[in-house]
Amino acid sequence: MNRRNSRDDGLVGTDTGTDTGTDTGTDTGTDTGTVLAAGCVLWRRSPRGGGLEVALVHRPRYDDWSHPKGKLKHGEEALRGAVREVAEETGMGCAPGEALPTLHYVAKGRPKQVRYWAAEAVDHDETFVPNREVDRLVWLPPDAARRRLSYDHDRTLIDALLHTLRPS
């Protein structure tokens, strides 16, 4: 997995959202030891011109930029977990749309499977409140979001989002 430095590279984003969620530390996985997680590629129309923007979160624990995601609780459906994680990490509600590619990679020596959905942000006019898991949130155009993301596998989700939002 290719990881880039997550330093702030001068790209301008907008802080937004509210967060009160916390990580329960539950390590939900399969019998094979695969960690199951879910998240969303959160998007909105920019309040300044209507162009597409993607939300990225900075996780201080890993010093990286990624899409909102997290481990599923025991017995939790993936889509429900994805929406919960968006709310916990950003403070926003979302309207999930099409499923995006499921990512498979190794994290901390264990296989991880993360299911993703395209999701339009709702209630995104609130002020973002940093929390233990996420200390920054930015809204960026797709090209800038690709540059800011820390991992190659997360960048592929931007292309998948654009494909799902393209008029047929």
Q: What does the alpha-carbon distance between residue 16 and residue 130 come to, in Å, rounded to a whole number? A: 10
Q: How far apart are CA 86 and CA 153, in angstroms?
A: 19
Q: Tell me, what's the pLDDT at 32?
A: 67
Q: How far apart are CA 49 and CA 140, in angstroms?
A: 13
- Write down the pTM of the prediction: 0.81
**What are the DSSP E strand ranges found in 4-92?**
35-45, 52-59, 64-66, 69-71
**pLDDT 10s per residue in the chain (168 long)?**
444 433 333 222 222 232 223 333 344 555 569 999 999 999 999 988 889 999 999 999 999 999 999 999 999 999 999 999 999 999 999 999 999 999 999 999 999 999 999 999 998 666 889 999 999 999 999 999 999 999 999 999 999 999 999 986
CATH architecture of the domain with residue range 35-165 = Alpha-Beta Complex (3.90)
